[in-house]
Amino acid sequence: MKKLSVVLLFICFVVTSGIQANAAKGDTLVHEVHKKYGEFLIFDNSDVNDSERERVLVTYTIKDDKLTKPKIKTHQAKYQKMAKDKKTHNKLWKQFANMIPKKNRQEITQFQVFTDGHDELLAYVLPLNYSISNWALAVDYKDSIANKNMYYSTLVHEYGHILMYKQKQWNRMFSPFCSNYVSLGKCSNKNSRANQFYEEFWAGVLAKDWKTMRIDGEVDYEFYDLYEADFVTFYAMTDPDEDFAETFEYFLFTKEPTKTKKGKYKNLADAKLGFFFEDPQMLKLREKMLKNLLKHY
Ligand SMILES: [Zn+2]
């Protein structure tokens, strides 16, 4: 899930001397993307004040990478224009499909268009079956067309969730005795990205504080003060899932963080980025996505 929230943290990155060739290549692409299209991580709220209850307008089945079988989900007259605007829906799907290589997003079998007015919820992904093998990508009609860069960065965030729930990384038969990271009622496998991310950055004191320092589901100021440097954004503090997705989004649109002379990252937020930067598969994917973005923006 992705909500527009005030980004309270800024992380400074310096181009590294390029120990990993792939990171350097991707960093050059990040530079190109920013130069050509501008900012992808920090956004202001929209000026339009039309918040309303979230409602799904239409759902599509993805077949042969195309939107098929539209099902209108609202009968109210005021939503019909948005619900039947196939041209825009196709464009929004294409923006996602053109950026993420097809083989990396086979789980997404449904596309939904919803709205809750401008801002608030921008997009989300949701599993469609118990075994979490099929997912829907849902995007807010109004936000998606209001700010193209924000839409792209939101898509990257949502894809971060899909990446975390890649099939082979989870034990679909949930065990109540799971000792690895648990989410969506599933037990992650020991060597999964989800569990490694959790073990490295959340397990222990942070997870304990996160459980106790919350008001209405959001972390309180004390938690924020204590752990500010551990997260790429305030929204990443929501839970380990959002942290993973936010960090993936920053991984895509920022350059590789530098390390100290002792080979350490300067804070935990950088170390989380390092989690992706030190994964050759992720570096390859980053390069492909940035190239696609430059080609199809
Ligand atoms: Zn999210």
Share of the chain above pLDDT 70, in %: 92
Q: Is the pLDDT of residue 13 over 90?
A: no
Query: What's residue 17's pLDDT?
Result: 43
Share of the chain above pLDDT 90, in %: 81
- Overall average pLDDT of the 112-132 stretch: 94
Beta bridge partners of 139: 113, 123
Reduce the DSSP state of residue 217 to 3 states and report it: coil
Q: Is the pLDDT of residue 15 over 50?
A: no
Instruction: Calculate how far, in angstroms, residue 158's C-alpha sits from the geometric centre of ligand 1.
Output: 6
Contact 47, 117 (CB under 8 A): no
Q: Could you write out the three-class secondary structure of 81-121?
A: HHHCCHHHHHHHHHHHHHHCCHHHCCCEEEEEEEECCCCCE
Query: What's residue 10's pLDDT?
Result: 35
With 0-12 / 13-18 / 19 or more C-beta atoms within 10 angstroms meaning exposed / middle / buried, residue 288 is: middle
Instruction: Calculate how far, in angstroms, residue 4's C-alpha sits from the geometric centre of ligand 1.
Output: 10
Instruction: Calculate how far, in angstroms, residue 236's C-alpha sits from the geometric centre of ligand 1.
Output: 9
Backbone angles phi, psi at 109, to 5 degrees: -115, -5
Instruction: Calculate how far, in angstroms, residue 76's C-alpha sits from the geometric centre of ligand 1.
Output: 29
Query: What's residue 9's pLDDT?
Result: 34
Instruction: Calculate how far, in angstroms, residue 157's C-alpha sits from the geometric centre of ligand 1.
Output: 6
Q: Where are the alpha helices (DSSP H) in the chain?
A: 21-37, 80-83, 86-99, 141-146, 148-164, 193-201, 205-212, 221-227, 240-253, 268-277, 280-296
Instruction: List strands edge to edge, sheet with 108-115.
Output: 2-3, 121-127, 135-140, 108-115, 55-63, 66-72
Q: For the chain, first and last CA: distance in Å?
A: 23
Strand 2-3 vs strand 121-127: parallel, antiparallel, or unpaired? Answer: antiparallel
> What does the alpha-carbon distance between residue 140 and residue 57 come to, in Å, rounded to a whole number?
9
In tens, the pLDDT along 31-46 reads 999 999 999 998 888 8
Q: Which of 80-89, 116-125, 175-184 has the lowest mean pLDDT?
A: 175-184
- Overall average pLDDT of the 125-144 stretch: 95
Q: Is the pLDDT of residue 107 over 90?
A: yes
Query: What's residue 12's pLDDT?
Result: 33
Query: What's residue 18's pLDDT?
Result: 42
Query: What's residue 2's pLDDT?
Result: 66
Band (pLDDT 50/70/90 cuts) for residue 173 is low
Band (pLDDT 50/70/90 cuts) for residue 174 is low
Q: Is the pLDDT of residue 208 over 80?
A: yes
| Mean pLDDT comparison of 170-174, 185-189, 195-199, 211-215, highest-scoring range | 195-199
DSSP classification of residue 259:
B
Instruction: Calculate how far, in angstroms, residue 154's C-alpha sits from the geometric centre of ligand 1.
Output: 8
Query: What's residue 3's pLDDT?
Result: 61
Between 237 and 176, residue with greater pLDDT = 237
Query: What's residue 36's pLDDT?
Result: 97
The first and second tokens of residue 256, run together, are: 């590789």
Q: How far is CA 54 from CA 5, 234, 261, in A?
A: 17, 23, 49
- Overall average pLDDT of the 119-140 stretch: 94
Which residues are close to ligand 1, an ion, with C-beta < 5 A?
1-2, 242, 245
Query: How high is the mean pLDDT of the chain?
Result: 91
Query: CB-based contacts of 191: which residues, under 8 Å, 6+ apart?
Result: none
Query: What's residue 218's pLDDT?
Result: 87
Contact 178, 121 (CB under 8 A): no
Contact 127, 184 (CB under 8 A): yes
What's this model's pTM, rounded to 2 decimal places?
0.92
Query: What's residue 4's pLDDT?
Result: 57
Instruction: Calculate how far, in angstroms, residue 246's C-alpha sits from the geometric centre of ligand 1.
Output: 7
Helix orientation angle between 21-37 and 240-253, rounded to the nearest 10 degrees: 80
The 10 Å Cβ neighbour count of residue 191 is 9
Band (pLDDT 50/70/90 cuts) for residue 7 is very low
Contact 56, 284 (CB under 8 A): no
Q: Is the pLDDT of residue 8 over 80?
A: no
Query: What's residue 21's pLDDT?
Result: 56
Query: CB-based contacts of 134: which residues, under 8 Å, 6+ apart?
Result: 107, 108, 109, 110, 127, 128
Query: CB-based contacts of 46: which residues, under 8 Å, 6+ apart?
Result: 118, 119, 143, 146, 147
Query: What's residue 216's pLDDT?
Result: 86
Query: CB-based contacts of 85: which residues, under 8 Å, 6+ apart?
Result: 141
Instruction: Calculate how far, in angstroms, residue 272's C-alpha sits from the geometric centre of ligand 1.
Output: 16
Contact 236, 226 (CB under 8 A): no
